[in-house]
Amino acid sequence: MLPSGKFQAIVDQHLCTNCGLCADILGPEKVQMVISDQKELRPLATASFQSEDLDLVAQICPGLRIEGPDDALAEEPDTQTDLVWGHYKTIVRAHAGNPVHRWEGSTGGVLTGLAAMMLETGRIRFVLHVRASDVHPTFGEATLSFTEADVLRAAGSRYGPTAPMLKLTDALDLGMPFAFIARPCDLSALANLSERDPRIGELIRYRLAFVCGGPTVSLDIDRMIEKAGVDPEDLVAMRYRGRGCPGPTTMVTGDGTVTHRSYVDFLDPDGGTWPMPFRCKICPDGIGELADIAVSDTWIGGGPDQQTENTDPGNNALIVRTAAGLELVEAAERAGFLTLGDTIGPNDLNVYQPHQHDKKFAAWARLDGLRRSGRLFPKTRRLRLKKLAAKMPLDFNESQASGARSRAEALVPEILEPKAASRFGKQPSTNACRRCAEARN
C-alpha cells in the first residue's frame, strides 16, 4: 500500500479528530483539508505524500497517539492525583469576573475571561483558538485573537467540524508568546509535535482546554437545524450556546430571519443519546490532562436543567493542573477577571461529568477491542487506563471491547474529494494577515 493509502486508513477507520495538524505541518501540496460526503472536515493525502510524511503523522496524530503528562508532575509540591481525573493542584468553582465575559462565554465564561486577562496584562500577544466559520456556519475555524474584542467575537462553544491546528504554523512563525485554547485531543497533538519543534515550549505560555464531551456528528447537526424549522442550506450564522448558561441556540438565515431554540431542545430533539463520532466514543482523554487548566461545565448529571437554563448565571469547574495554571488563576482573581467560589474535588467532578468518569473506566477495554481486531487504535501512556480497567469486572471489560469492535466493523469510510481544499488552506484571512503584520511591528 502506498504511504498515502496508509495515511487514509486513519481517516477510513474513523480515528481522525479533524485537528488539521497534518495539513498544517505538511502543507496543501501533501495534505488538504476537505469536506467529506458526511459533511465532516477531513485530511486528504495527495500523490506527493511520502513515507517520511507517514512517519511524521504516526508521531504527531492524536488519532494514533494520546499521552498523559510527565510523571514528574506528580512529584511536584502540592500536586494531588486522582485515578480518574489525573494530576491537579486544586479544583475550584469559578466564573468570569466581568459580566460581559460571563454572559458571552459558555457556562461561566472562564476561558473568555482568562484569554482577555492574558492579553490585557501582556502575558501573551495573542490567543490561538477557534471561532465560528464565516463560510460554513455550523463549522468552526482556527483564529488568532489579539484583543479582547477578538476574543469576544470568538466566544461560545463550537460543536461542528473544526480544525484548531490549521493556524499553528502561522502562530509559531510570529515568534511571539501566545496561549492555546482547544480540545484535549488538540493539546495531545501539540505535545506530540513539541518533540520535534522546540518553539512550542518556548512560545506557548499557557495551554487551556475545556473538558470535552465530544462534538456532534455534522449531519445530525443539520437534522437538528431542520427539526427547528430551518433549512441548513439557508443558514448564514449559528451560535450553539453562550449569552447565558447555556444560553439559546441561535440560527440566522440569509433573509435575516433569526430562530432561537432552547439549548436542551435543540441538542436532544428526539430524546435520544448525543450523536458522537466514533473516535470520541473511544477517547482516552476528554478531561484535558495536558492542560495547565481544564475547564468544565458544572451541571449536575452532566447536562443543563431545562427549568433553570434561562436563569442560571453560569459557573465553571477549574481543574488547575500545573504551577503555571495555578499562578494564572490566582493572578486573574486578583485582577478581577475571575471570581473564585468553593474548592471542590474529584467526587464533585464525577457528579458534574458522569460520562467522563464512566468513559475513563471503559477506555482501556474499548481500545483493547480495536487492538484485538487488528484495526488501528490510539496508543496511550500515563493515563492510568489499565489501572482503571483492573477495577472493573471482567465481563464489563469484555462487553466494552466487544462493543467497540462491533461499532468499528460497522463503520463505512467517508468519501473525500479535493474540491473543498482551497477553503481550508494554511493562508490566514486578509484581516489575520493585517493583524500579524501589525503584531510583528
Strands (E), 187-248: 204-210, 235-239
C-alpha cell, 43:
485530511
Determine the Cα–Cα distance for residues 214 and 378; give it in Å rounded to an integer.
16
pLDDT at 305 over 90: no
Going from N- to C-terminal start, the domains of the chain cover 71-217+274-354
What totals of helices (H) and strands (E) does the chain contain, helices first?
A: 18, 17
Residue 423 pLDDT grade (very low, low, confident, very high; cuts 50, 70, 90):
very low
Query: Between vectors from CA 76 to CA 72 and to CA 79, what angle results, nearest 5°?
Result: 110
pLDDT for residue 435: 52
Q: Does residue 246 have a cis peptide bond before it, meaning omega lies within 30 degrees of 0? A: yes
Task: Render pLDDT for 339-384 as a digit per residue (tens, 0 to 9).
Answer: 999 999 999 999 999 999 999 999 999 999 999 999 999 999 999 9
Q: Which DSSP helix (H) or strand (E) runs through 317? A: strand 316-320
Task: Render pLDDT for 94-121 as a digit per residue (tens, 0 to 9).
Answer: 999 999 999 999 899 999 999 999 999 9
To the nearest 10°, report the CA torsion of 72, 73, 76, 77: -160
